[in-house]
């Protein structure tokens, strides 16, 4: 699992993370943004700008808890920016809170920063020039992956985090070290093969705050405590812009031309893009991916403004200098050197015919068709086309094209549908009326847009939906429009804040039903007449048959009496 991941269910096609990613390390797949770990420099801007909170930083909180639960010695290595991350508490209260969580010792990363600053000073004394400081892992990733030719200029020195981890493990063999700071990139740095094992777990201040909350620790109510051991002086200012140069005791004039400090990942990238040995005459270049330094780390989680954070760190540094602490001493220090190896991100050339083919997918056939609006997150249409070819983007990310396509399709549907459609705003004014409804109401060629719906129709269904936000469907007769009879459905469109009315013309069906009803009544009437006639005829026949039978019976009786010899009267 990478350091930064995406919650796909929360990712909603806004492309904001791509716009803010300095190296476009975001892959769009089926509309969702995915951070490509091998391309990512871990600056964390995408985490900060995601409006849906869909970008998540890997949590290592459980690993830290497991180390403490194991019973072994676990040392907290606390970055100096902690004084800005927990403004509600004093430094001593934060230290006390960490010890209550179970840490055996709480030490300052500034101890390691002192050694890192000294190593940079030594390199300058050796005559190195154009030396890029190596304390910011995000900058190191940026150089080794996207400017591999400049890797040789990175100072071969570990970061303060790694230096402190090595110091602590030299002092306490077998102990585990948990670094706590404002940086996401530190999680990836701790896993690099050159320094793996120097720090066991990396936590952010945000994770630490979560841990305090789980443990029901209110820092502001705790008694104060002090750091376990160690000495640190100027290096407590390390997280502030120019902190390394100050810690290294470099004599820098206000307008020095051979020492430069650059903060902000985009400014660092711009500097590296324009870097040229022919023009560069720098001794040392301090580069930090966060604006103003680590005090603006992506997971510092502070309510203070950047200026207040800077002031708080500097005040803390000044107070420590007033205590006249002895300089850091280590009789047998570990090595604070390391190597950086170029690991360039593959960027194959894209054939021109492929770029043209991909551009054509979004209606861009001529240079003037390329808006270069940046809505997709890329600076130009051609840059996005290259990303599509490389599998990092989708052609459908072109928002202007997709909008035009959607509007065109919607207009086509509104035009050809036999059903009447009207769009009404919350003031019941007509925004759109399609040709079918105009024909139904006899309004073809008449001005209706902007007028109130009640000038033409009974507004009560629209008023009901506007009040309840619940759709209604009913059959309505409009005798004023040639006995128009419709099935009316009204909906409220939440996103556009419009009411939509759909009219299905039932007039012909109603006329057919009336005609069928008349035919049924006529048929029933005729059937009743036929039945009456049949009954009359049957009755007449029955009457005739009855008289004939009676006469026959009388004659037969007379015949029988004659045959018996009886006298029969005529």
Burial class (CB in 10 A: 0-12, 13-18, 19+), 285: buried
Q: In degrees rounded to 5, what are phi and psi of residue 33?
A: -90, 135
- The DSSP code sequence of 124-190 is HHTT--SEEP---HHHHHHHHHH-GGGGGGB-SB--HHHHHHHHHHHHSTT-EEEEEES-SHHHHHT
Residue 108 pLDDT? 93
Residue 41 pLDDT? 97
Residue 409 pLDDT? 66
Residue 257 pLDDT? 67
pLDDT along the chain (570 residues), means of 10: 89 90 93 93 94 94 97 95 94 96 95 91 90 95 96 96 96 96 96 96 97 96 86 79 71 61 94 83 90 91 88 85 58 89 92 92 89 92 94 90 72 83 92 91 88 93 94 93 93 89 92 80 74 74 64 60 61
Residue 175 pLDDT? 97
Q: In what order do the strands lie in the sheet with 176-181?
A: 105-108, 74-78, 176-181, 201-204
354 by DSSP, 3-state: which?
helix
For 484, the enclosing helix (H) or strand (E) is strand 484-493
Q: How many CA atoms lie within 13 A of 89 on its CB side?
A: 23
499: tokens are 């009411």
Number of H helices, E strands in the chain: 19, 16
pLDDT tens track for 269-289: 999 999 887 677 788 999 999
Read off the pTM.
0.73
Domains of the chain listed by start with CATH number: 1-58 (3.30.70.20), 59-322 (no CATH), 348-403 (no CATH), 417-505 (3.30.450.20)
| Residue 167 neighbours by CB under 8 Å, 6+ apart | 111, 112, 115, 330, 333, 334
- Given a contact cutoff of 8 angstroms between Cβ atoms, the answer to whether 136 and 267 are in contact is no
Between the two ends of the chain, the Cα-to-Cα distance in Å is 129
Instruction: Give CA–CA dist 126/130, Å, rounded.
Output: 13
Q: Write down the residue that tokens 């995915």 correspond to.
A: 34
Residue 516 pLDDT? 81
């Amino acid at each position: 699992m990478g350091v930064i991941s995406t919650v796909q269910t929360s990712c909603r096609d806004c492309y904001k993370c791509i716009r803010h990613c300095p190296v476009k390390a975001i892959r769009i797949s089926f509309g969702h943004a995915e951070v490509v770990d091998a391309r990512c420099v871990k600056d964390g801007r995408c985490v900060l700008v995601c409006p849906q909170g869909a970008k998540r930083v890997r949590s290592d909180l459980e690993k830290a808890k497991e180390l403490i639960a194991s019973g072994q010695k676990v040392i907290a290595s606390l970055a100096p920016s902690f004084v800005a991350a927990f403004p509600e508490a004093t430094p001593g209260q934060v230290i006390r809170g960490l010890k209550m969580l179970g840490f055996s010792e709480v030490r300052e990363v500034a101890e390691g920063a002192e050694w890192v600053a000294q190593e940079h000073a030594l390199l300058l004394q050796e005559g190195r020039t154009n030396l890029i400081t190596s304390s910011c892992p995000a900058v190191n990733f940026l150089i080794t992956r996207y400017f591999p030719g400049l890797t040789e200029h990175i100072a071969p020195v570990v970061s303060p985090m790694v230096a402190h981890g090595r110091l602590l493990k030299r002092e306490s063999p077998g102990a585990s070290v948990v670094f706590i700071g404002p940086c996401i990139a530190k999680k990836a740095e701790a896993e690099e093969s050159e320094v793996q094992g120097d720090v066991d777990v990396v936590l952010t201040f945000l994770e630490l705050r979560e841990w305090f909350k789980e443990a029901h620790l209110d820092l502001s109510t705790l008694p104060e405590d002090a750091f376990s051991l160690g000495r640190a002086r100027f290096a407590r200012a390390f997280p502030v812009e120019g902190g390394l140069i100050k810690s290294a005791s470099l004599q820098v004039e206000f307008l020095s031309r051979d020492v430069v400090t650059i903060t902000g990942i985009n400014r660092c990238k711009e500097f590296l893009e324009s870097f040229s040995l022919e023009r560069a005459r720098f001794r040392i270049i301090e580069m930090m991916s966060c604006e103003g330094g680590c005090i603006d780390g992506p997971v510092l989680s502070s309510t203070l403004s950047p200026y207040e954070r800077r002031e708080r760190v500097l005040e803390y540094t000044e107070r420590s200098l007033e205590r006249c602490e002895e300089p850091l001493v280590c009789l047998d220090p570990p090595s604070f050197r390391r190597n950086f190896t170029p690991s360039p991100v593959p960027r194959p050339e894209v054939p021109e015919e492929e770029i043209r083919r991909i551009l054509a997918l979004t209606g861009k056939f001529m240079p003037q068709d390329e808006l270069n609006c940046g809505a997709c997150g890329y600076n130009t249409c051609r840059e996005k086309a290259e990303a599509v070819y490389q599998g990092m983007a989708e052609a459908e990310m072109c928002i202007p094209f997709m909008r035009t396509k959607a509007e065109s399709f919607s207009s086509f549907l509104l035009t050809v549908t036999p059903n009447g459609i009207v769009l009404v705003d919350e003031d019941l004014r007509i925004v759109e009326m399609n040709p079918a409804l105009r024909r139904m109401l006899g309004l073809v060629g008449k001005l209706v847009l902007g007028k109130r719906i009640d000038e033409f129709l009974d507004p009560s269904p629209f008023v009901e939906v506007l009040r309840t936000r619940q759709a209604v469907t009913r059959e309505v007769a409009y005798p004023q429009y040639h006995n128009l009879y419709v099935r009316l459905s009204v909906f409220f469109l939440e996103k556009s804040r419009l009411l939509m009315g759909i009219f299905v013309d039932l007039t012909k069906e109603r006329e057919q039903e009336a005609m069928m009803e008349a035919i049924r009544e006529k048929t029933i009437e005729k059937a009743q007449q036929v039945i009456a006639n049949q009954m009359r005829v049957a009755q007449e026949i029955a009457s005739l048959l009855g008289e004939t039978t009676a006469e026959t019976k009388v004659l037969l009786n007379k015949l029988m009496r004659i045959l018996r010899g009886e006298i029969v009267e005529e």
